[in-house]
Amino acid sequence: MSNRLKNEKSPYLLQHKDNPVDWYPWCEEAFKTAEREDKAVFLSIGYSTCHWCHVMARESFEDPEIAALLNDYVCIKVDREERPDVDAVYMTVCQALTGAGGWPLTVFMTPKQKPFFAGAYFPKNSSYGRQGLRELLIQISYLWSEEREKLLESSEKITEVLNRKPSSSIGEEKADRALLLKGFKLLSETFDSKWGGFGSAPKFPTPHNLIFLTRTYENEGVDEALQMAEYTLKAMACGGIFDHIGGGFARYSTDEQWLIPHFEKMLYDNALLISAYLEAYQITKNSFYSDIARRTADYILNELADSSGGFYCGQDADSDGAEGKYYVFTVDEILRILGEKDGLEFCRLYNVTERGNFEGKSVPNRIGQTNEPWNYNDPRLQRIYEYRKSRERLHLDYKILLSWNSWTIASLSQAGVILDEPRYLSAAVRAWNFIREKTTDSNNRLFHCFRSGEAAYAGQLDDYAVYALASIELYRSTFETIYLQEAALRAKQAIDLFEDKENGGYYLTAHDSERLISRPKETYDGAVPSGNSVIEEVLAELAYLTGESLFREAADRQHAFMAGEIKNYPAAHCFSLTAMAKSIYPHKELICVGNRFPSEILSYFRNCPARNISVVFKSDKNEKTMSSVAPFTDSYRASEDLLWYLCEGGACRTPQNDFNMLRLS
């Protein structure tokens, strides 16, 4: 029999609808039931493409004996991608109590939502010194019955720590070059000079760290920064973490040399990696990077695109009950697909061997190879790709998350210009229109996600901030004023809904959102940059694009707040450092007026990074809109031909009608 999750629309919750566990979704009814029946609450948080979530489900949640023990609690299942606010609160608890985190996240709490125990994956039974879920359930059940006061006292202390006010006040620290250079130094100290990346296994791509390195090279001329970024980008693209057949990157590598991935693929990783590879391509002009960016963008369009314009969350690591089975090959398989000559060449170029590198089979990779790989659109690769698609398909998480889609819009906008590929820009525009049409409510507020034809959950800081950033990227790529308008609107809403006016920074949830036991304020850049880092970037850029003091003052406040938050270890906040650079290094504002499209500037962007230039375009057609969103443009009169006004450091040069005379570089 199905449990209460059968009525949900989250792919993750629906995976558990037939468990013998009497699951509730996160809802008021669950906590009222726990209070009425005097039960502790068991909270399990995960997501549908999570391998270890599947393992714990098979071992425990599908087991009648464990389910019987669980049903002595009120059990709640949460999709972390649908409810990042709930996940943020209880992941903070887990990290504080255990020093680590991860999914599945396991929490025990009171009916008042106050936690007293947290951990991640638990096997069914205790083994090798690791506590099993069976024993844990029995132990906590005993404590709840016989020694509840200890649990309640612990839950109160944990909740008190969660809500402790910050000791420092806004404005005490300063965003300056020293902070950025400290971030670079700390990052370089953890750099793996043998295999690239940072730290040891498991290794995550963290593209925002690589972008910070390329920006450090541009701003400071530090060759080592570019070398670190390039070495890592090449190592990842040669490793098994990159899908050499279908394109795109897996979530992380289980080893230090990027060989064996954790095979799930996530939208956000691939979107941000497109941007990282494009930045390296613009600096070096090495087509290796542009090819990887293309293949990653094509993966998103081929595998994750919804027909309505949005993009799905990701693909599972497991198929046919085994992790990675979809992606690995034997030599015999390759020979059957391609024939002996081409098959042997593929095996040689992509390290497919009789011995294999993953459970007797091979994850294709290019580690140690010096010969040129097959071109990304080689028909022989397409034959292997089509063969692979005939296997049992990977589970697809069909949720469309607003912030992840916005990262994708931003990267596809960049790819459309830099790679001169109109189809990427068209896909970005379609996704942007999808957000406007499908995930915006009657009050012009944003929803967080869309699934099964329905938008759900109030938008959070990341949704507003990354959508504003995506709109800025679309404006930079098209100069259509609707995108600049939207960016300004969402940034203003973010200030109104999320800013902590007393202590600085931005909360994850809006002031009128559901009340949890604490209101998270995240500054750490994890798998994706934090909402606080992104809004910092947005405000800084809008200050230049609109000339509005509202954005300049908000950007200054956020720079000061983040400088205080990240001062001890800025390397964990690289996107914030990138945003701060806008206020530290020389910046140019370019105003173009005229009645034809300024194609010259897009050609310039295609060939030059130009991250320190903000461009606005005014014409007779958009004059009224530009007056509304960027009032400073009122004094610029459009002419038939284009006129270019270049300003830097508060001073403007003589206008030019010849773009080449501007000497932007």
Choice between 649 and 468, residue whose per-residue pLDDT is larger:
468
Residue 167 has pLDDT above 90, yes or no: no
Counting Cα atoms < 13 Å in the Cβ hemisphere of 75 gives 23
Share of the chain above pLDDT 70, in %: 99
Give the pLDDT confidence score for residue 171 in this predicted structure. 58
Distance CA 565, CA 217 (A): 24
What pLDDT, on a 0 to 100 scale, did the predictor assign at position 633? 92
- Per residue in 347-359, pLDDT tens? 999 999 999 999 9
Per-residue pLDDT at 340 exceeds 90: yes
CB count within 10 Å of CB 359 equals 13
Handedness of CA 270, 273, 274, 275 (dihedral sign): positive
pLDDT grade for 665, boundaries at 50, 70 and 90 = confident
Residue-level length of the chain = 665
DSSP assignment, residue 47?
-
Q: Is the dihedral of CA 384, 390, 391, 392 positive or negative?
A: positive
Please, which pLDDT band fits residue 169 given cuts at 50, 70 and 90?
low
SS3 content of the chain, % helix, strand, coil (to 5): 50, 15, 35
Between 663 and 559, residue with greater pLDDT:
559
Predicted local confidence at residue 320, as pLDDT? 83
Q: pLDDT at position 1, please?
A: 65
DSSP string of 165-215, one letter each residue: PPSS-TTSS---HHHHHHHHHHHHHTB-TTT-SBSSSSB---HHHHHHHHH
In the chain, how long is the greatest CA-to-CA distance? 84
Q: Looking at residue 92, what is its pLDDT? A: 92
pLDDT surpassing 90 at residue 108: yes
State pTM to two decimals.
Answer: 0.94
- Residue (of 522, 523, 496) closest to 511 by Cα position: 496
Amino acid of residue 217: Y
Token pair for 389: 């698609």
End-to-end CA distance of the chain: 67
Q: Report the pLDDT averaged over residues 520-543.
A: 96
Please report which residue ranges of 521-642 form alpha helices under DSSP H. Answer: 531-546, 549-566, 574-584, 599-607, 623-629
Least confidently predicted of 30-44, 357-371, 638-652 = 638-652
The pLDDT value recorded for residue 608 is 85
What is the Cα 543 distance to its own chain's centre? 24
- Written as one letter, the residue type at 156 is E
Give residue 374's pLDDT: 94
With a cut of 70, say whether residue 168 has pLDDT above it: no
pLDDT in tens, 411-463: 999 999 999 999 999 999 999 999 999 999 999 999 999 998 999 999 999 99
Closest by alpha carbon to 121, among 100, 138, 142? 100
CA 89 to CA 448: how far, in whole Å?
Answer: 17
Residue 438's pLDDT is what?
Answer: 95
Pairing of strands 400-401, 454-458: unpaired
Phi-psi region of 197 (alpha: psi -120 to 50; beta: other; left: phi over 0): left
Q: Three-state SS for 21?
A: coil
Which of residues 289 and 639 earns the better pLDDT score? 289
Any idea what DSSP says for residue 361?
B
Lowest mean pLDDT among 54-68, 162-176, 236-250, 646-660: 162-176
47-85 pLDDT, tens digit each = 998 888 999 999 999 999 999 999 999 999 999 999 999
For residue 166, the model assigns a pLDDT of: 67
pLDDT at residue number 236: 98
Identity at 565, one-letter amino acid code: E
What confidence tens digit (pLDDT) does each residue in 304-329 have?
Answer: 999 999 999 999 988 888 889 999 99
Is 584 in contact with 176 (CB distance < 8 Å)? yes
Sequence letter at residue 66: I
**How high is the pLDDT of residue 165?**
75
Residue 664 above 90 pLDDT? no
Query: Which residue segments constitute the domains of the chain, with CATH numbers given?
Result: 4-162 (3.40.30.10), 177-316+397-584 (1.50.10.10), 319-394 (no CATH), 588-662 (no CATH)
- Sign of the C-alpha dihedral computed for residues 261, 262, 267 and 271 taken in this order: negative
pLDDT by residue (tens digit) across 577-612?
Answer: 999 998 999 999 999 999 999 999 999 999 888 788
Q: pLDDT-based confidence at 489, cuts 50/70/90?
A: very high
pLDDT in tens, 599-645: 999 999 998 887 889 999 999 999 999 999 999 999 988 777 899 99
How are beta strands 261-262 and 252-253 bridged, if at all?
Answer: antiparallel
Model confidence at 153: pLDDT above 90: yes
Average pLDDT, the chain: 94
Residue 405, Cβ density class (10 Å: 0-12 exposed, 13-18 middle, ≥19 buried): buried
Q: How far is CA 239 from CA 24, 330, 364, 473, in A?
A: 41, 18, 8, 30
| β partners of residue 46 | 79
Q: What is the mean pLDDT of residues 170-187?
A: 87
Mean pLDDT of 167-196: 87
